[in-house]
Structure 1
């Protein structure tokens, strides 16, 4: 791991392999390690001839933490991704995001379209536009002094995940408050890059991938069979489809 500085944050990143670059943007409460290294994405991409790059969002993993919700808008996190590409001298890359990372990827494509060759939205379908439910109880669960007092089902899940990964729970609570900015149908229509929208068939968070893909001029949907929000990211078929998609589209 190495790091670079942007907007007052030291952002840790990993850069491996040669070939067309693929920037990987992880989800909420996760990290480059949990979302991309452990599930085998670096290995898969490198073996397929791609340069894999992933970073820890501000407030996550080995990057600087802030407890100020104003620091965690998708626009600011997308600017971190663009700054990393600039830091590495990469003019244009494939961009793949999972869950919150998919939202950040969309904001990146809208703000810096010339930097984004293709997009993969994993773990987020029509929730990009319609929302993904009430996440305020998750912030409360993350701030709770005693995990045993958390009764909200999704809150318990994310609290356990945060504790397992030894995350800064106050930073995550701040992040979840402001990172959920929705995109409009018009916003989605302005994303012209070839896009793959992939969601697990038992994912109860992401929303329908077909509905989101239909809003975009060059998008296709992928159902990741039998996978929920947590397990879809490492699915073997998902990896195969992404490699085929990247090979077909190129930079």
Structure 2
């Protein structure tokens, strides 16, 4: 696996991790996680690459090895969509697949629903209708985690989220700015997503609402359940295997 860096649309330096050879598959991680934590640590990138795929794993700004600027001007609405578009442009990709988990899935859906990106296939992991149409509720949870960080006691519903941010070394100033860039998505726009789509979600994962309902709203979607909760499903091989199997069938 190789790691390289490029400058996004506003000059923010972002990290890209590449593994495998073949058809490009841009794969995006979850909120306050990283390519390492979601895809590389558990071997999902290897399972997917075995399908003749080059897995292109971006670290979003404020995540992983990418920069976390403190300048508010670096955080326009849907900045992560613009970062992914900058990556596609940087690599000169015209025929590629796109996918992600949680925030990565949400970003992929915003990009395709608004016509910013047009991948051949789409993979949506750990995302449901509430994570799109009611994102403001989930964002409020993370704003509380950031704002009350050192005050959250053990046993608090947000304690685990606070510990996760701490373990990932998240820059809380930049993270707070980033949260304000993420609008809700009008679910009616899901009808614009015409490409074949895999919706994959843990059988105990309800963090972002119903993934099955999301699949039903997409014009051409397959729904697959894998074992686990929202945080747990990414640690099991089933997630990477489900994505690899589906991509293999669509090749």
Aligned Cα RMSD in Å?
Answer: 2.2
**Structure 2, unaligned runs of 5 or more:** none
Per-residue deviation at 1:244? 2.0
- Distance, in Å, in 2 between the alignment partners of 1:174 and 1:53 is 26
Q: 1:136 aligns with which of 140, 143, 146?
A: 140
Structure 1 position 116, deviation (Å): 0.7
Aligned counterpart in structure 1 of residue 43 of structure 2, from 40, 44, 63? 40
Other-structure match for 1:231: 232
Among 144, 159, 162, the alignment partner of 2:162 is 159
Q: Secondary structure at the match of 2:61?
A: coil
Alignment partners' CA distance in 2, 1:95 and 1:31: 16
C-alpha distance 134-107 of structure 1, shift in aligned 2 (>3 A): closer
CA contact (8 A) 1:22 1:51 kept: yes
Q: Can you list the C-alpha shifts for 1:154-179, whole angstroms capped at 9, x where unaligned?
A: x3222111111112122222222332
Question: What corresponds to 1:192 in structure 2?
Answer: 194
Alignment map for 1:141-152 (pairs within 5 Å)? 141-144=145-148, 146-148=150-152, 152=156
| Cα distance in 1, alignment partners of residues 116 and 68 from structure 2 | 28
Contact 1:26–1:98 (8 Å) recurs in 2: yes
Q: TM-score, normalised by structure 2?
A: 0.89
Verify the 8 A CA contact 1:199 1:222 in the aligned structure 2: yes
C-alpha separation in 1, matches of 2:150 and 2:185? 35
Long gaps (5+) in structure 1? none
In structure 1, how many angstroms separate the alpha carbons of the residues matched to 2:7 and 2:14? 6
CA offsets 1:196-249 (integer angstroms, 9 cap, x no match): 111112113121111111111101212223x11111123323322212211222
Aligned residues: 247
Shift of 1:147: 4.8
- For 1:117, what is the secondary structure of its paired residue? coil
Q: Deviations over 1:116-165 (max 9, x none)?
A: 11111101011244325443242232233625558741x32221111111
Which residue matches 1:216?
A: 218
- What is the Cα deviation at residue 5 of structure 1? 0.5
CA distance in 2, matches of 1:171, 1:128: 21
CA distance in 1, matches of 2:94, 2:59: 20
